[in-house]
Amino acid sequence: MFTLAEKISAALGTSHTFALELNEVSTVAAIDPASIRQTLEDDLALRGAKPAAAPADAQVQVTISQNLAGFVLVAEIRRQDAQQVAVVPVATSDELPPQPGPEPGIQRKIVWQQAVPILDFLQVSADSHRMLLYFLEPDRLVAYEFDDGAQVLRDAQPVARRYPSRDLRGHLIATDAMHVSAFLAGMRCDASWNPSFSVECRENAGQQWPMGTVSWTSSPARNYFQGSITFSNDLQAKFPPFFSSASPSPETTGLSSSRRIVAGLDGQAELFVGNAEPASNFEGWGSDMVSIASGCGSAWQVLVTGSGDWTEKDQIQLYEIRDRGAAAIGEPFELTGPILALWAGEDGRSARVISRNLESGMYEASMVSVSCSN
């Protein structure tokens, strides 16, 4: 739908309203025309065009048919001054016999354990032999350098906090192996090697925390975020306060990144589709989530923590988001204690997890990914 909406939007040009007609040619296509219509209208609205009854600026007729390879979506866009056709093939595996094999499974690799709390960590390669590990703790940023797996350096510098917080959160962003920024408690601390390890902290103006393609406003004395997204047509979607959020990657899912799930302060996870009102909500989700490109299919997939508190063992569950629903995929991965932070990995195919082992009392930094087969 994302690709078709892009082509229709380009053909609409300066047209601001459109009338959409949807025709299903195939009687055996396992699709939901109402869902397709709503998704198209939502995506076109995000690009500045509004659905309207006649007379509209343009008429859009979408025909859905099926062939051996999958579906074919054909859009005829008729304006007063021009007429264009957009064709988008959509491959499907519905006609293929089911392939044996296990469901996607979650894998975890423990990178580090220590007695001091960890807010976030980064693992960055300097070259083919050297790797740096950064750990953000409540009061300092610690750096380790490894050469062919052997530790050759450890350094630590203090970080400042402007606001106290009972539930402190922190986040690390790497420009490259030698430049890292930390965000916590109203401050931004920039670390670099020149040639020794140094950290400079200052007040984080605007309290913006960069996360992927967006930045969220952090509430300095709290542990949640606020924010809105402004699209290319100046349409703005504002979200209620939330602990974490996730959106699909257009490159891997074909979906618009305007779709976003936020974990609200009330324990509800809500799906927004370019509108101020949630399209749906999901029960039983925890307060941390990240999108992940597992490679197991092309659907939008999200890793979600459990809904327990910090005195209980936690879990991570993989979900697939289709239309406005969420389906659990595979079995949840159980941990030995609560998850304290969940951040998207730099590669988009993994996630950084901070947890506490209730048996040993140690804080654990882990990388989590999804395996498609044994």
Spatial CB neighbours of 100, under 8 Å, sequence gap ≥ 6: none
| Burial of residue 9, with CB atoms counted within 10 A of its CB: 0-12 exposed, 13-18 middle, 19 or more buried | buried
Residues 289, 246: Cα–Cα separation, whole Å: 6
CB neighbourhood size of 291 (10 A):
24
* Ordered domains of the chain (ranges, CATH): 2-91 (3.40.50.10610), 105-371 (2.120.10)
Q: What is the pLDDT of residue 101?
A: 46
Q: How would you write the pLDDT of the chain (374 residues) with one tens digit per residue?
A: 667 777 888 888 777 788 888 887 655 445 667 777 777 777 777 677 778 876 788 888 888 877 666 678 888 888 888 888 888 876 554 443 444 445 789 999 999 999 999 999 999 999 989 999 999 999 999 999 999 989 999 999 999 988 877 789 999 999 999 999 999 989 999 999 988 999 999 999 889 998 877 889 998 777 899 887 665 555 666 788 999 999 988 766 666 667 889 999 999 999 988 677 888 999 999 999 999 998 887 789 999 999 988 889 999 999 999 888 999 999 999 999 999 999 999 888 999 999 999 999 999 999 999 998 65
Residue with tokens 């299903």: 24
pLDDT at residue 17 in the model: 85
